[in-house]
Amino acid sequence: MSLDVATEPDLHHELVVDKEAAAALFLDARTANNWADGEIAEETLQAVYALTRMGPTAMNIQPMRITWVRSPEARERLAVHMNDGNRAKTLAAPMVAVLSYTTQWHELIPTTAPHMSAMVPTFESNPDARKLMAVNNAHLQAGYFIMAARAAGLAAGPMTGFDAAGLDGDFNVDSASKSFMVVNLGRPSDVIDRARLPRLEFDAANVTL
C-alpha cells in the first residue's frame, strides 16, 4: 500500500519538521518528466549544492562531483549518450546534472578532514579502497542531492540509463571522475504521468533484533 498521510495519524507527531516540509521533501514530492516553464537560476543550483554537501560521508570525503548541463550545445552532447527512453526527457528538462564520483578524493583530505591528513599516502597506495569508498559515498550524496533539490522547490528525475564510458569520454575527459547518475531537474508542471507506485509497509522491509 502507498503511504497515505490521512491513515498515518502518528507520523507528524514523530517529526521535527512541519507538515509542509515533510510533504515537499517526501510525501507529495514526485519524480517528474513534465516541467513548468522557466530556467533554473544559478543561485538555486548553488543552494542545492550548499545543502547536498552537508550530508555525512565516510571520513567527510565528499567524492561526488556535479556537472550542470545548461547550454543547448552541451545538452545535445549529453543526449547522445542517453538510452533511447531517457533522451527526450533529458533534452526537455530545464536543467540536467551529471553526477560523478572522483577516485582522487584522498588528495583533499587535508581540506575535508585535516586531522586525518596522515592518511593520504595510505589511500594513495590503495586505489581499490579509494574507488569503493568513492562509489558508496557518492551514491549516498546523490540521495542528499535529490532531497536538496526538492527543498529548493525542484523535482528530480534520476536516471542510470546511459553510456557511462561515452559520457565520461565527452564530459569527464582527462579527469579522475566517473559518471554514475544523470538527474533531470526543474519545477514540475501540473501534469502527473501516473499514480504514485506502492511503497512497502514497515513489516515488509524492516527487522528489529
User: Looking at residue 9, what is its pLDDT?
Assistant: 53
C-alpha cell at 208: 528489529
Question: What residues make up the domain containing 86?
Answer: 31-189
Span 78-89, pLDDT tens digits: 999 999 999 999
CA distance 64 to 138: 5
Residue 207 lies in a domain: no
Q: What's the domain count of the chain?
A: 2
Residue 70 lies in a domain: yes
CA distance 196 to 89: 19
Beta bridge partners of 88: none
**Banded model confidence at residue 33, pLDDT cuts 50, 70, 90:** confident
Span 79-133, pLDDT tens digits: 999 999 999 999 999 999 999 999 999 999 999 999 999 999 999 999 999 999 9
Query: Mean pLDDT in the chain?
Result: 93
Whether 6 shows a pLDDT value over 80: the answer reads: no
Q: What is the per-residue DSSP string for 28-91?
A: S----SSB-S-PPPHHHHHHHHHHHTTS--GGG---EEEEEE-SHHHHHHHHHHB-HHHHHHHH
Residue 126 lies in a domain: yes
Residue 199 lies in a domain: no
Do residue 9 and residue 67 come from a single domain? no
Span 40-51, pLDDT tens digits: 999 999 999 999
Residue 115 lies in a domain: yes
Residue 55 lies in a domain: yes
**Banded model confidence at residue 64, pLDDT cuts 50, 70, 90:** very high
The mean pLDDT of 173-196, rounded to a whole number, is 90
Do residue 158 and residue 110 come from a single domain? yes
Q: 115 Cβ partners below 8 Å, 6+ apart?
A: none
Q: How many residues does the chain have?
A: 209
Model pTM score: 0.92
Residue 112 lies in a domain: yes
Residue 133 lies in a domain: yes
